């Protein structure tokens, strides 16, 4: 798709009004999400763009022609197309491409999964339990060697993201014993007897053969990614941010685009391997032709990323305080504070090189100390040249502080937030740290009050179910969580940080579009903008709060074309 020049875009309202609309959606509630949050009755579309919003009577009188398609909304609500600013397309797409994943919500369920795979897996071959986060298990603890020894004929590994665990046979095959030295930044966790208990913290690379996944052909990967993108469209998403692309992801996405198989828009974040010597990282940044803004509204680069710490769900997020006694139960670790993957001077040098190459910058940071390290790097850059216009941002930023918020406001730093984690993870994390230490866990209202831009995302990485995946990518569930802030145990979580429905909707529309440098093209339904929208049955602004969670698209459109319609 060829982009229009800024001059032609400025003439769009005049040029498009000169012709009859291709499509008019009328007699509904159209939430434009413009600066005034105007609510209209109808929207007219021509050549993939909005040409008018207003009353049904006016648009049917002034925009309807002989060939105009009409859709009577019958009171339904039209929202701007929703944008999940944080997903991982390829891993999610392949996770259920060949077989459906069972719900892995307990240690018992994991053991049953191992038994089922053992029955169809040749003896001696690896069984990998798909990525599952321990705080979300009923037992709220990490599966150990003994848990995974329900099968002794296969090496078994449990993927807990930054931390894995393995059964006795897997440890034996890999030569992991009580004398195995810890890898750099990692740990072979020992039990009370001094023997490995199976938990490998940032040390999964020690497992010989476990990292080898089932081979997929390129066409299988393309089909899986296309299907995943269509699943996103069925959830109401018209754009996503793929937050950790490699050269393979970029190649596959470009092929989908060239073949006309991209049903929704994708903004790509390049995650570089920062574990190498800094000189190698700097050289790769300079050699790559990729830059922020390269591409078009269907597929483009947005951000440069490093991974600064691990995960709060596995006890490797780099925290200001230790994980404590319940942390040992949940993660099988000592009173550690987590892991910082990139030292401050190295981070600054990488960011300095990427910034000089024209990149918008971010880093995966979950723990509070990791957030502080990221903001330190931003402050060094800001002293050299103000960074506010670059739209640098904190990715996740789970454990904020008032000081961190003040620094973000001062520098013009935004945040890529995952409100759904409050529902899933607060019950366990509250036991680890104490709820009083989690006052600034996704402080959404504080962000908005302080003028800190927020883009909403899910961090979807595994599974195809919009409500059951790791993580749930249903945008309406995540919007609902932003409004109600209730955990899966039904308890309120710092209700003073709730936001209203309009502000929650903006996180998945204008907020995400702004972070992707696309706010002039999409994010709201205004004349001249791309006609990306989603139709829902309920009155979004006035329905009961519980309906927000169960809301589902009747229709999803990208550039005025239907990419999903409920049967």
Residue-wise pLDDT tens digits, 462-514: 999 999 999 999 999 999 999 999 999 999 999 999 999 999 999 999 999 99
Q: What is the pTM of this model?
A: 0.93
Residue 317 scores a pLDDT above 80: yes
Residue 6 scores a pLDDT above 50: no
What value does the mean pLDDT of the chain take?
Answer: 94
* pLDDT above 90: percentage of residues in the chain: 87
User: How is 293-320 classified by DSSP, letter by letter?
Assistant: T-B-SSEEEEEEEEE-B--GGGT-S--S
* pLDDT given for residue 243 in this prediction: 98
* pLDDT given for residue 325 in this prediction: 78
Q: How confident is the model at residue 7 (pLDDT cuts 50, 70, 90)?
A: very low
**CATH 3.10.310.70 domain range(s) in the chain:** 102-206
Please give the order of strands across the beta sheet that includes 69-72.
49-54, 42-46, 23-26, 69-72
Residue 13 scores a pLDDT above 90: no
Residue 511, SS3 per DSSP: helix
The four Cα atoms 430, 435, 441, 445 give a dihedral, to 10 degrees, of: 140
Average pLDDT over residues 320-339: 79
Separation of alpha carbons 511 and 415, rounded Å: 10
Tell which wins on pLDDT, 68 or 103.
68
Q: How confident is the model at residue 314 (pLDDT cuts 50, 70, 90)?
A: confident
Average pLDDT over residues 268-282: 97
* Cα separation values, 52 from 22, 297, 335, Å: 12, 21, 60
* pLDDT given for residue 347 in this prediction: 98
Residues with Cβ within 8 Å of residue 177, at least 6 apart in sequence = 171, 195, 196
Weakest mean pLDDT among 94-108, 379-393, 484-498: 94-108
Separation of alpha carbons 422 and 425, rounded Å: 6
Residue 411 scores a pLDDT above 80: yes
Q: How confident is the model at residue 563 (pLDDT cuts 50, 70, 90)?
A: very high
Phi, psi of 444 (to 5 degrees): -60, -45
Residue 454, SS3 per DSSP: strand
Weakest mean pLDDT among 122-136, 318-332, 417-431: 318-332
Separation of alpha carbons 183 and 181, rounded Å: 6
Weakest mean pLDDT among 78-92, 123-137, 344-358: 123-137
Separation of alpha carbons 326 and 434, rounded Å: 10
Residue 17 scores a pLDDT above 50: no
Q: How confident is the model at residue 252 (pLDDT cuts 50, 70, 90)?
A: very high
* pLDDT above 70: percentage of residues in the chain: 96
* pLDDT given for residue 90 in this prediction: 98
Average pLDDT over residues 9-22: 58
Q: Where are the beta strands (DSSP E) in 138-251?
A: 156-160, 163-166, 187-190, 196-201, 237-245
102-206: CATH class: alpha beta
Residue 9 scores a pLDDT above 60: no
Residue 379 scores a pLDDT above 80: yes
* pLDDT given for residue 333 in this prediction: 61
CATH topology of domain 84-89+217-522: TIM Barrel (3.20.20)
The four Cα atoms 144, 366, 485, 439 give a dihedral, to 10 degrees, of: 110
319-350 residues labelled b (16+ CB within 10 A) or e (exposed): bbbbbeebbbbbbbbeebbbbbbbeeebbbbb
Note the pLDDT tens digit of each residue in 235-246: 999 999 999 999
79 DSSP β-pair partners: 534
Separation of alpha carbons 288 and 272, rounded Å: 11
The three state secondary structure string of 102-137 is CCCCCHHHHHHHHHHHHHHCCCCCCEEECCCCHHHC
Residue owning tokens 């595994």: 462
301-318 residues labelled b (16+ CB within 10 A) or e (exposed): bbbbbbbbbbbbbbbbbb
* pLDDT given for residue 14 in this prediction: 45
* pLDDT given for residue 15 in this prediction: 47
Q: Which helix (H) or strand (E) is 77 found in, with range?
A: strand 77-80
Q: How confident is the model at residue 327 (pLDDT cuts 50, 70, 90)?
A: confident
Average pLDDT over residues 365-369: 98
Any idea how long the chain is? 567
Category of 325 on φ-ψ map: left (φ > 0), alpha (ψ -120 to 50) or beta: alpha
CA 486 to chain centre: 20
* pLDDT given for residue 19 in this prediction: 59
Residue 393 scores a pLDDT above 80: yes
Residue 1 scores a pLDDT above 60: no
* pLDDT given for residue 211 in this prediction: 72
Average pLDDT over residues 526-541: 98
Residue 404 scores a pLDDT above 60: yes
CA-nearest of 361, 340, 481, 456 to 411 is 361
Phi, psi of 184 (to 5 degrees): -55, 125
Average pLDDT over residues 552-560: 98
**CATH 3.20.20.140 domain range(s) in the chain:** 84-89+217-522
């Amino acid at each position: 798709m060829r982009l229009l020049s800024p001059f032609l875009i400025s003439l769009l309202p005049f040029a498009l009004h000169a012709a009859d609309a291709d499509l008019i959606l009328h007699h509904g509630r159209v939430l434009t999400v413009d600066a005034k949050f105007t609510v209209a009755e109808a929207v007219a579309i021509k050549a993939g763009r909005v040409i008018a919003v207003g009353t049904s009577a006016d648009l049917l009188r002034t925009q309807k022609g002989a060939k105009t398609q009409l859709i009577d909304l019958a009171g339904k609500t039209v929202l701007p197309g929703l944008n999940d600013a944080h997903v991982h397309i390829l891993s999610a797409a392949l996770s259920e491409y060949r077989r459906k994943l069972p719900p892995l919500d307990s240690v018992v369920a994991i053991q049953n999964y191992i038994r089922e795979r053992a029955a169809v897996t040749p003896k001696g071959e690896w069984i990998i339990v798909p990525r599952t986060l321990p705080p979300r298990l009923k037992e709220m603890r990490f599966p150990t060697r003994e848990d995974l020894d329900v099968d002794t004929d296969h090496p078994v590994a449990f993927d807990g993201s930054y931390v894995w665990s393995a059964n006795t046979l897997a440890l034996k095959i890999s030569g992991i014993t009580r004398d195995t030295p810890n890898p750099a930044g990692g740990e072979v966790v020992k039990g009370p007897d001094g023997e490995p208990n199976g938990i490998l913290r940032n040390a999964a690379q020690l497992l010989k053969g476990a990292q080898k996944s089932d081979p997929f052909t390129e066409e299988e990967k393309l089909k899986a990614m296309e299907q995943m993108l269509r699943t996103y469209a069925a959830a109401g998403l018209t754009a996503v941010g793929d937050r950790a692309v490699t050269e393979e992801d970029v190649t596959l996405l470009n092929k989908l685009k060239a073949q006309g198989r991209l049903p929704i828009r994708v903004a790509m974040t390049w995650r570089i391997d920062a574990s190498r010597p800094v000189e190698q990282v700097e050289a790769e940044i300079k050699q790559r032709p990729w830059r922020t803004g390269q591409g078009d509204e269907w597929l483009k680069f947005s951000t440069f990323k490093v991974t600064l710490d691990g995960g709060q769900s596995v006890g490797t997020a780099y925290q200001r305080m230790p994980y404590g006694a319940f942390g040992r139960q949940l993660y099988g670790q000592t009173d550690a504070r987590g892991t910082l993957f990139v030292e401050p001077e190295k981070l600054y040098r990488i960011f300095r090189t990427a910034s000089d190459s024209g990149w918008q910058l971010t880093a995966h940071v979950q723990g509070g100390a990791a957030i502080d390290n990221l903001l330190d790097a931003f402050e060094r850059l800001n002293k050299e040249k103000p960074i506010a216009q670059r739209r640098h941002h904190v990715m996740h930023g789970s454990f904020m502080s008032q000081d961190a918020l003040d620094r973000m406001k001062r520098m013009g730093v935004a945040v890529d937030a995952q409100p759904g984690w409050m529902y899933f993870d607060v019950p366990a994390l509250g036991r680890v740290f104490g709820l009083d230490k989690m006052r600034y866990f996704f402080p959404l209202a504080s962000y908005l009050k302080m003028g800190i831009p927020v883009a909403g995302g899910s961090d979807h990485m595994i599974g195809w179910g919009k409500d059951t995946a790791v993580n749930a990518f249903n945008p309406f569930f995540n919007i609902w969580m932003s409004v109600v802030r209730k955990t899966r145990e039904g308890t309120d979580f710092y209700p003073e940080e709730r936001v209203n429905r309009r502000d929650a909707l903006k996180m998945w529309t204008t907020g995400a579009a702004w972070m992707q440098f696309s706010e002039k093209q999409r994010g709201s339904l205004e004349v001249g903008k791309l006609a990306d929208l989603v139709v829902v049955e309920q009155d979004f602004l006035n329905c009961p709060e519980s309906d927000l969670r169960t809301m589902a698209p009747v229709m999803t459109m990208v550039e005025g074309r239907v990419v999903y319609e409920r049967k």
